[in-house]
A and B are shown apart, each in its own frame.
Chain A
């Protein structure tokens, strides 16, 4: 971890975010926009899988997966840039540690969804309910991302 913190703390990304007066707010804006795209896509996917939006065809709901990936990619890039501003400050922040832990769990949950449930879900007929396992994965996904958003706001106070 120390090697990673040292590496990113001396990278050109670190120089850019510290030297340009607009870099940090611009990356924050990208971070918020990325999260909006990610969370919007997850609302459609997870609410359909969890059974709260059965009026949406499952295959159509799954079309939001690439959009969710786009949102996550924006967040990953902007998050790395923000982190490089002062890596030591972030790694010692309790809120940041929680946020990263929750994102890791959300990532594992998404992998379980993709490799364990996705193929079965796209075969469902219009209005057909998903299996209980898939419903639990979808609810856990929504709750985890709500927690990530909440914890991220607390980073400034912890």
Chain B
């Protein structure tokens, strides 16, 4: 049996998420068509904030504006976390609405993997700086971190084009 919103039974859990009242609310199935654009806007704002902090921090680790104390960026991370929480909540809402599409999509899976790797690298770089780890290794991790987060943006955009 096929539903209007593209979910094909019997898939069980996947369809039950998408056809839940929250999922239907996101996709406009409840007659409210504002949820999706609002969630997408919030996702964009959150992403730019996270990427902003990631880029500003990693550029400093890689040697840009060297006179700024790296530990000073600790406070900038609070803004990054706010952006990340906004991204997480809006991302979960979008995922709920299009669960059967996104959950099996390679670009989505890669995006999530890159976000996880990027997050681990951010923590590792900051920990390394606090513990006085070798500077070259820290810079290498920083370059990987930038690549990982940029990859997350790229794969996020490609979700609109790839299966």
- Please, how many angstroms separate the alpha-carbon atoms of A57 and B66 in the complex? 11
- Are A63 and B64 closer than 8 Å at their CB atoms? yes
- Please, how many angstroms separate the alpha-carbon atoms of A39 and B83 in the complex? 12
- Are B150 and A33 closer than 8 Å at their CB atoms? yes
Closest B residue to A66 by CB, please name it.
B64
A residues 37-53 touching B (CB-CB < 8 Å): 37, 39-44, 47, 53
**Residue in A33, A55, A157 whose CB lies within 8 Å of B75:** A55
| Main SS at interface, chain A | helix
Say yes or no: A40-B158 contact (C-beta < 8 A), given A60-B68, A63-B65, A67-B64.
no
- Please, how many angstroms separate the alpha-carbon atoms of A52 and B161 in the complex? 40
- Are A28 and B51 closer than 8 Å at their CB atoms? no
| Main SS at interface, chain B | helix
- Are B37 and A154 closer than 8 Å at their CB atoms? yes
- Are B48 and A149 closer than 8 Å at their CB atoms? yes
- Are A40 and B37 closer than 8 Å at their CB atoms? no
Whole-angstrom distance from the CB of A153 to the nearest CB of chain B?
4
- Are A64 and B44 closer than 8 Å at their CB atoms? no
Q: Is A150 an interface residue (CB 8 A)?
A: yes
- Are A56 and B45 closer than 8 Å at their CB atoms? no
- Are A29 and B154 closer than 8 Å at their CB atoms? yes
A residues neighboring B (CB under 8 Å) = 25, 28-29, 32-33, 35-37, 39-44, 47, 53, 55-57, 59-61, 63-64, 67, 146, 149-150, 152-154, 156-157
Say yes or no: A36-B44 contact (C-beta < 8 A), given A64-B65, A154-B37.
no
- Please, how many angstroms separate the alpha-carbon atoms of A43 and B83 in the complex? 12
Closest A residue to B153 by CB, please name it.
A32
Report B-chain residues with C-beta under 8 Å of the C-beta of A149.
Answer: 41, 44-45, 48
Q: Render B36-80 as a binary contact track against A, CB cut-off 8 A, 1 for contact.
A: 010011011101110111111001000011011100100110010
Most A CB contacts (10 A, CB to CB) among B56, B67, B76, B160 go to B56
B residues 70-124 touching A (CB-CB < 8 Å): 72, 75-76, 79
List 7 extra interface pairs beyond A33-B150, A43-B52, A60-B65, CB under 8 A: A29-B153, A36-B48, A37-B55, A39-B51, A41-B52, A55-B72, A149-B41
Report B-chain residues with C-beta under 8 Å of the C-beta of A154.
Answer: 37, 41
